[in-house]
A and B are shown apart, each in its own frame.
Chain A
């Protein structure tokens, strides 16, 4: 058999899961969609002594609106469920646009939002989206709960602020509002592969078409999702145009991101991809922002 032996538990309440985790924090692993954990176990890259399967926690599978302008998503909500959800399409269109880029539908049928964020792969899409939208995570252990903002959560490659006895129970995102435009673009060698480079762009304009804020977040451009505020600063207070987008893309691609070369792509090539994707993403986000103030 491929994976090493382990003890299997499948608690039916969050409290029971938290108790099990507290008692076995250093030997146990939480099992969500299993789409990153099980491949790693099949290779015996990881050999947890115990799995705490979260798949019976139906209570962690939901999408709901709070205070009219916040979307709360249960950690065990599948990527495929989010992709098909109308509320997400209306309130978090950036996330909707991004989800089909994650692996394949068969993987998204199992993979969860909580698992993807906890796994913290620098090439993954959802961590970049959480940082782009400035969302936050609700973490719980047996004793207490705490909220962690996106940027404080990601600490390094596959490393987060989660303590060994904590579970992500919910992820919260602010909804889109009037004047916001968005775009997500990535380049991968084959459809469904992890991207070589990807960028999420957000841009807000006022009724005069002046850019009030902008945000660019890159995947695979450092150990954690990389925010290019140095570059987007150029847009604020301006009525942006193609030339300005090119300048912003150049600054982001050459001065902000720190991609590492791999067997398929050199650093200059990755920076070139970032430049092209950024320019296009900003143009799309801008036209969507303008369309939203015109209506």
Chain B
């Protein structure tokens, strides 16, 4: 009744070829078929934001896409962050470092979704206001931090990333 489809997806620069049932959600595909368990699954109705990944560079909910729809597309998940911007493999992205530094997480369940929402945001707005940061994270729920430390972390990351870019140029 619902035959498998062959798909080829590129995740964090690596190509994968798999057979999937149409009803397989992209979030479950990443976790169970590719063992990329950094993408977390919360509400499965688009509200909580913990499954946010990048599809062709834009943040989307991976629980509201079917894996078959990702055929031929480029995805980035939290596992790809440490390599992002050419940082050496194994070293954290400045955004991750800032979350660590500023206590932007406690249990960490929501963190991958926050990071993946914030990455393209900071690319578009390298020096955001606190208000803009709050707007940018409005689609991600966190039950631990009360958000203040997350906002602090983003402000810290933005400053660090600008300083780093500056030092690279000089």
Contacts and interface: CB of A to CB of B under 8 A. Distances in A.
Interface of A: 1-8, 10, 34-35, 38-39, 41-43, 49, 51, 53, 55, 80, 103-107, 109-110, 190-192
A104 B2 contact: no
Interface stretch (B63-71, B82-90, B98-106, B149-157): B63-71
B25 A2 contact: yes
B18 to A, nearest CB: 15
Given A8-B5, A39-B46, A43-B45, A1 B23 contact: yes
Contacts of A107: 46, 61, 64, 139
B1 A106 contact: no
Nearest to A80: B58
Contacts of B52: 106
Contact of A103 (B65, B135, B139): B139
A193 to B, nearest CB: 9
B65 A5 contact: no
B25 A1 contact: yes
A106 B45 contact: no
Interface in B20-65: 21-25, 28, 44-46, 49, 52, 55, 58-61, 63-65
B138 interface: yes
Nearest to A3: B23
Nearest to B121: A105
A109 B58 contact: yes
B22 A42 contact: no
Given A1-B25, A6-B2, A6-B22, A105 B139 contact: yes
Given A35-B61, A110-B60, 16 more contacts: A1-B24, A6-B22, A7-B2, A8-B22, A38-B66, A39-B46, A41-B23, A42-B63, A51-B22, A51-B66, A55-B69, A80-B58, A105-B139, A106-B139, A109-B58, A190-B138
Interface string B114-146: 000100000000000000000110110000000
A49 B1 CA distance: 9
22 contacts: A2-B23, A5-B2, A6-B22, A8-B5, A34-B64, A38-B64, A38-B65, A39-B45, A41-B23, A42-B45, A51-B22, A51-B66, A53-B69, A55-B69, A104-B138, A106-B61, A109-B59, A109-B60, A110-B61, A190-B138, A191-B138, A192-B139
